[in-house]
Structure 1
Amino acid sequence: MNDQKECLYCKLPLVGRADKKFCDPQCKSAYQYQKFKTAPQKFYNKVSTQLKLNRKLLKAYNKGGKVIVRAEVLQEKGFNSRFFTHYWKNKKGHVYLFVFEYGYLKKKEHNIEKYILITWQDYMQ
């Protein structure tokens, strides 16, 4: 019995082993990439990706140790304040949310939402 099989990616007839699925490594790679791109992203990957983006943005906008930035500036770049790694409460009772070593506190001044950006300090432990 000779079942004619075809490449899962390019659909060309396969020659060789009975269990062969692809005609060459390029088709195998292209098939796997296509499969990866169409698969729904796993929850862990979504969280990890957002945390990395948040950290990158907080680092980029906080060059002075303590900076105030309009919330819309960060949000336009993809910042999502619901993703953070830990928090710290200061003596005044304000709760700063942190993404690794970069923290932020959301405030509203004159009806404009802003973030106060800080970096983690040893005394915060």
Structure 2
Amino acid sequence: MRIYKECLHCGKELKGRTDKKFCDPQCKSGYQYQKEKQNPERFYNKVDNQLKLNRKILKEFNKGGKVTVRAEVLNESGFNSNFFTHYWKNSKGDVYLFAYEYGFLKRTENTVEKYILIQWQDYMEK
């Protein structure tokens, strides 16, 4: 005697093994995707995603090694200065925050907020 059930994703009638839940790998993948999509994003994933986005944005805008960019331009791209991986303090006392190998320092010049963007250098390890 064979038991017929329905696919958990598409609802088609299943034939074959009695413990079968999906009609094909695509339905299994689609079901798992929908199920995960309903779960709230985990804190770790939010932080990791923002760090990756910050790095991507800093890399995109820092083509010259050291660049100054208006804060509003970075912020409109999705940049969030509250997320960084480490920091470096230069000899002047300025603290650069880094998203992996790309760093930034917030400055205000004539009431305009700007970021000075740099890239990690070997001499910064000391």
Aligned residue number for residue 46 of structure 2 = 46
> How is 1:107-118 mapped onto 2 (pairs within 5 angstroms)?
107-118=107-118
Question: Identity over aligned residues, as a percent?
Answer: 71
Letter matched to residue 115 of structure 2: Y
Aligned residue number for residue 101 of structure 2 = 101
Q: In the aligned structure 2, how far is the partner of 1:26 from the partner of 1:123?
A: 51
Name which of structure 1's ranges 1-10 and 63-72 shifts more when overlaid on structure 2: 1-10
State the SS of the aligned residue for 1:88: strand
The alpha-carbon distance between structure 1 residues 106 and 12, as it changes in their structure 2 partners (threshold 3 A), is same
Question: Following TM superposition, by how much is the alpha carbon of 1:89 offset from its aligned partner in structure 2, in angstroms?
Answer: 0.9
Any unmatched runs of 5+ in structure 2? none
State the SS of the aligned residue for 1:47: helix
Contact 2:69/2:114, CA 8 A, preserved across alignment: yes
Q: In the aligned structure 1, how far is the partner of 2:121 from the partner of 2:107?
A: 21
Letter matched to residue 107 of structure 1: R
Letter matched to residue 100 of structure 1: Y
Aligned length: 125
Matched, 1:26 2:26: yes
Q: In the aligned structure 2, how far is the partner of 1:107 from the partner of 1:15?
A: 66
Question: So what's the TM-score if we normalise by structure 2?
Answer: 0.89
Contact 2:2/2:18, CA 8 A, preserved across alignment: no
State the SS of the aligned residue for 1:80: coil
The Cα offsets for residues 13-56 of structure 1, whole Å up to 9 and x where unpaired, read as 22222211112222112112212222222222222211111111
Question: Following TM superposition, by how much is the alpha carbon of 1:3 offset from its aligned partner in structure 2, in angstroms?
Answer: 6.0
Moved over 3 A (4+): 1-4
Q: In the aligned structure 1, how far is the partner of 2:26 from the partner of 2:122?
A: 51
Question: So what's the TM-score if we normalise by structure 1?
Answer: 0.89
Matched, 1:81 2:81: yes
Letter matched to residue 17 of structure 1: R
State the SS of the aligned residue for 2:28: helix
